[in-house]
């Protein structure tokens, strides 16, 4: 009688797109979704990384394919959505995760550096939604999960003003987008991630990662899978009446800061 509780997070058979999934947080999100039954499309601008991530999922007995695209280009996002619909017939989940974070102080930052980061992180999120929403509206259902950050919306960090602006902007965009599609059984939410232990953050932060870990109340940094687990919840039917909001995954770090 209560058999549905055996796997309340089941997204079996759902078609999920994860951008920036060739590595880092996106790769972790993709694996979690695939391990819970989704057919996952790995989208990345690096063909080798994208296919490696998809092959890893297939090796675990799940369904995945790779797709090369630049999230900051409308033509690429149009082609992405069209390709997924041609192959699978639908788009159930979009995890708009692609992002970059090259540090630069304001005085040294070029206009090109600012524009590139905003184009990938914020414009890329907009274009991803714009490309996938027509199919979701046609289906009258969909789940959209954005990877934002505590940096920008709750905290700040020197050298990351452009990153902070993109992630704070994402939250404002998410709330308004959620209102536009709420009547169509489409939810739009975001994850505010703290520092996540990935290859990229280890390369960027170096020895300061240990200090950040020590300052985290739970005593550890989040993993990519921690973010993936929250994405899974927001993509599942358990979160069907949650929209226009964020979930913080930072081990309590923003409370301290």
Q: Of 88, 101, 153, 163, which one is the catalytic site residue? A: 163
Q: Is 211 exposed, middle or buried (0-12, 13-18, 19+ CB in 10 A)?
A: exposed
Residue 101 a catalytic site member: no
Whether residue 100 lies inside any domain: the answer is yes
Whether residue 202 lies inside any domain: the answer is no
* pTM reported for the whole predicted model: 0.94
Tens place of pLDDT per residue across the chain (257 aa): 334 455 667 899 999 999 999 999 999 999 999 999 999 999 999 999 999 999 999 999 999 999 999 999 999 999 999 999 999 999 999 999 999 999 999 999 999 999 999 999 999 999 999 999 999 999 999 999 999 999 998 999 999 999 999 999 999 999 999 999 999 999 999 999 999 988 777 676 666 778 888 889 999 999 999 999 999 999 999 999 999 999 999 999 999 86
Whether residue 188 lies inside any domain: the answer is yes
**Residue 248 is part of which domain span?**
12-195+223-252
User: Of 141, 63, 151, nearest to 99 (Cα)?
Assistant: 151
For the domain that residue 180 is a member of, what is the CATH number? 3.40.50.720
Domain total of the chain: 1
């Amino acid at each position: 009688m209560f058999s549905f509780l055996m796997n309340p997070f089941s997204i079996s058979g759902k078609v999920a797109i994860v951008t920036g999934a060739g590595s880092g947080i996106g790769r972790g999100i993709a694996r979690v979704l695939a391990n819970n039954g989704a057919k996952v499309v790995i989208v990345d601008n690096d063909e080798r990384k994208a296919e490696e991530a998809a092959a890893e999922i297939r090796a675990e007995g799940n369904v995945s394919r790779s797709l090369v695209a630049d999230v900051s280009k409308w033509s690429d996002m149009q082609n992405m959505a069209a390709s997924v619909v041609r192959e699978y017939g639908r788009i159930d989940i979009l995890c708009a995760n692609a992002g970059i974070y090259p540090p630069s102080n304001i005085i040294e930052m070029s206009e090109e550096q600012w524009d590139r980061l905003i184009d990938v992180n914020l414009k890329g999120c907009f274009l991803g939604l714009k490309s996938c929403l027509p199919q979701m509206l046609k289906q009258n259902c969909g789940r959209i999960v954005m990877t934002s950050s505590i940096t920008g919306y709750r905290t700040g960090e020197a050298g990351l003003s452009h990153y902070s602006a993109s992630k704070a902007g994402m939250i404002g965009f998410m709330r308004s987008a959620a209102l536009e599609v709420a009547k169509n059984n489409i939810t739009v939410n975001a994850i505010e991630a703290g520092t996540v232990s990935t290859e990229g953050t280890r390369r960027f932060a170096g020895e300061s990662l240990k200090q950040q870990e020590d300052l985290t109340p739970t005593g550890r940094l989040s993993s990519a899978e921690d973010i993936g687990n929250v994405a899974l919840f927001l993509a599942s039917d358990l979160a069907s009446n949650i929209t226009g909001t964020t979930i913080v995954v930072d081990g309590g770090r923003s409370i301290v800061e």
